Amino acid sequence: MRIGRNWLKISPVKIASYSSVILNSICIVLGITYISNPTYSILWDIFGTILLMTLFENLVLIFINSIKNNEKKIFRTKMNFFSYFYLIFIIFAMVSMMLGNLLISVTYSNQLIDNLGAYTLIYVFYFGVLTIGISYAIYGIKIYNNSSLKSQIQDFEVRSSRRFLKIKKISKKIAIIFSRTTFIIGIIFGIVIIFGSFEVVTTLLAIVSGQFGIFFSIIFLANTILLLKLKHRNWNSKKFYRTTIMGILVSGLLLGPLFLTQYTINDIERSFSSTFGPNWRDKIPPDVNNYFLQTPFSLSSYFLGIPPKDCIVESNTLFYNDEGIQLYYDAYMPLNKAEGLPGENSTIIRIHGGGWVSGDKGMMNMMQMNKYFAAQGYIVFDIQYGIAENPLFSLDPLTPNYKKGDFSIDDMMRHIGIFTNYLANNTEKYGANLNSVFVSGGSAGGHLTCAVALAIASGLYSDIFNGNITIKGLIPFYPANGQMGFFGVTGRDEFKNPELLIENDSPPCLIFQGTHDILNYFSISRNIQDTYYAKGNENCAILWMPFGGHASDVYFTGYYNQIFLYYMERFMYLYH
């Protein structure tokens, strides 16, 4: 009976502490293994689940210790400082891992030395969270088991209260302001996840809240515990429990896209199979399938990223110098001339977004995706086009002034047409197969993707586009068809609303669309698909991303982009 009572007495902290040591250690070993060989294995699915459990378990341990802090003096001071430090470290670690993966996605080079800073952000903070988690758990266990350590902590408490009282008060005030601000932002994120964006500020939040939801969930829960620790002595029990419940609720809401991942995959599988045939998988040989993502979503890749694929990158080649502007393109080419690769030198023309008044190729147009498909044997061209000058975007630091002018949609189409003629005259240089061309882009680039691909396929605009190009498919991401009027940009009707160009024999279309994208509304994507159907052409599928806002593909290893990439690469192989 005594043993049972002792077990019940120590179980909340000791069980959590021992399990934390075990889980963090497992994640360190698996993390090293993944970094050494990120090639897909079912082990990585298991690893991702364990990692997520570990991160939340670490927070649970801190929370339990915080509660015990009110009951036992031995948990004060050193353990308290350790808890504060670890909570703040976890918050910055999640931000750093996000930033590191984003930086890798927007650099031309694949060389380790050129991406050293980004990899440092990911790996140092990843292993830092786990290593500190082990130390934190072991330290807590020692406090329970070592009576001399208890007295040392109590002595330190007396000394520290004399030496650092002023610093402690100032630091606490700063921490409270930071924590309260983060708490409010987290609540707004939770609201955006459920209801979507409804004006400009929340639209920007919707861009990140869905695809970065796992990171934000961990950040918000860590911040909630931090706020409870900072303010618990001044709060009554109702406020304490209200804050705790709110923190858990919002953290859970931010995991909404993750919880729906399997539903999303199943829904997309049905849509893809319904559009392109139930036996579409049989058309992809096993040796070809080995080049593709082996699972629609990997949690381990979400956190630790997918290393950029090796390819040849030729950047900033001039193809147009007139009208007071210069237009350049970047070319991404496979190694060994695509021998034995699925793409077989098919061409992809990538068109950047930016509301027709901003944006650029390169870092603003999913560079890692360009590398990814070049490594599969495609010749990828990331191109510029003249954009309309707009005073609201005159200070945009990421958009070059040398491509701005008084341009309409017709001018932008003409500029892209000039590139198609340039490409046709330089086919041998790149080995690009112009009989197999795909066009892809997001937002305004998604609109231009539709307009360019459908205009070329119609054969009615040989005065603009090169006649030797054969469009095999178009892949618009959240296309902004018909929305250019909000930016004061004009053009002919069929170029502004490319649905007017859809015919019975138009090339197949695969659309990426978030359900919470207020900038484009999903009626635009539905209208494209409905027009395909009305013309007797059923080769158009929309891949819906629940809770996804505008630009939900920005995070290359986010669940939205991973899922779409899984089907996009197979779509292009089926029709290349």
pLDDT in tens, 408-444: 999 999 999 999 999 999 988 999 999 999 999 999 9
Q: Show the beta-strand stretches assigned E in 410-483.
A: 433-442, 471-477
Where does residue 527 rank: exposed (0-12), middle (13-18), buried (19+ CB within 10 A)?
Answer: middle
- How far apart CA 568 and CA 373 sit, in angstroms, is 10
> 407 CB contacts (<8 Å, ≥6 apart)?
386, 387, 388, 415, 489
Give residue 3's pLDDT: 45
199: pLDDT strictly greater than 70: no
H helices within 164-260, ranges in order? 165-195, 200-209, 213-231, 237-254, 256-259
What local confidence, expressed as pLDDT, does residue 307 receive?
A: 86
- CA-nearest of 74, 88, 129 to 227 is 88
- For 259, the token pair is 């919880």
Per-residue pLDDT at 179: 86
Q: What's the rounded mean pLDDT across residues 493-522?
A: 92
Local confidence band at 121 (pLDDT 50, 70, 90 cut-offs): very high
How deeply is 548 buried, as exposed, middle or buried, from its count of CB atoms within 10 A (0-12, 13-18, 19+)? Answer: buried
pLDDT attached to residue 2: 47
- Reply yes or no on whether the pLDDT at 164 is more than 90: no
Lowest mean pLDDT among 68-72, 270-274, 461-465, 513-517: 68-72
pLDDT by residue (tens digit) across 267-292?
A: 999 999 999 999 999 999 999 999 99
Q: What's the confidence (pLDDT) of residue 197?
A: 64
Neighbour count for residue 250 (Cβ, 10 Å)? 23
Tell me what pLDDT residue 410 has.
97
Q: Which of 113-127, 150-164, 445-459 is least confident?
A: 150-164
Do 337 and 433 form a contact (C-beta atoms < 8 A)?
no
Q: How far apart are CA 333 and CA 430, in angstroms?
A: 8
Q: Is the pLDDT of residue 258 over 50?
A: yes
Q: How confident is the model at residue 7 (pLDDT cuts 50, 70, 90)?
A: very low
The CB density around residue 145, as the number of other CB atoms within 10 Å, is 11
Rounded Cα–Cα distance for residues 37 and 32 (Å): 9
Token reading at 478: 């959240």
Q: Reduce the DSSP state of residue 391 to 3 states and report it.
A: helix
Kindly indicate the confidence band of residue 4, based on its pLDDT and cuts at 50, 70 and 90: very low
pLDDT at site 163:
54
172-181 contact pairs (CB < 8 A, 24+): 172/230, 175/84, 175/88, 175/226, 175/230, 176/227, 176/230, 176/231, 179/223, 179/226, 179/227, 179/230, 180/227
In the predicted structure, residue 507 carries a pLDDT above the cut 80: yes
Nearest partner of 17 among 77, 82, 92, judged by Cα: 82
Structure tokens at 575: 């029709």
How buried is residue 166: exposed, middle or buried, by Cβ count under 10 Å (0-12/13-18/19+)? Answer: exposed
Percent with pLDDT over 70 in the chain: 89
Q: How confident is the model at residue 459 (pLDDT cuts 50, 70, 90)?
A: very high
Q: In the 3-class helix/strand/coil scheme, how is 45-64 assigned residue by residue? A: HHHHHHHHHHHHHHHHHHHH
Beta bridge partners of 381: 331, 349
Query: Taking residues 135-161, what's their average pLDDT?
Result: 63
Q: Average pLDDT over the chain, rounded to whole?
A: 89
Query: 255 is written with which tokens?
Result: 């995991």
* Cβ proximity of 452 and 413 under 8 Å: yes
The DSSP code sequence of 207-219 is HHHTTTHHHHHHH
pLDDT at residue 479, rounded to an integer: 96
Residue-level pLDDT at 189? 86
Tens-place pLDDT, residues 313-329 = 999 999 999 999 999 99
pLDDT value of position 359: 93
pLDDT of residue 520: 67
Section 540-546 average pLDDT: 96
124 Cβ partners below 8 Å, 6+ apart? 96
In the predicted model, what is the mean pLDDT of residues 505-527?
89
Q: How much of the chain exceeds pLDDT 90, in percent?
A: 66
Residue 393: pLDDT band with limits 50, 70, 90: confident
| Tokens of residue 108, six digits | 């031309």
| Arithmetic mean of pLDDT, 474-493 | 94
Q: What is the mean pLDDT of residues 366-390?
A: 95
Confidence of residue 230 (pLDDT cuts 50, 70, 90): confident
Q: Render 116-154 in DSSP notation, one character per residue.
A: HHHHHHHHHHHHHHHHHHHHHHHHHHHHHH-HHHHHHHH
Output 268 or 234, whichever has higher pLDDT: 268
536 pLDDT exceeds 60? yes
Q: What is the pLDDT of residue 15?
A: 83
Helix pair angle (42-71, 213-231), 10° resolution: 10
Q: Which pLDDT score is estimated for 331? A: 97
CATH tag for 261-575 (out of 3.40.50.150, 3.40.50.300, 1.10.10.60, 3.40.50.1820): 3.40.50.1820
Asked whether residue 8 carries a pLDDT value surpassing 80, the answer given is no
- With a cut of 50, say whether residue 38 has pLDDT above it: yes
404: helix, strand or coil: strand
pLDDT in tens, 208-228: 888 999 999 999 999 999 988
pLDDT score, position 80: 79
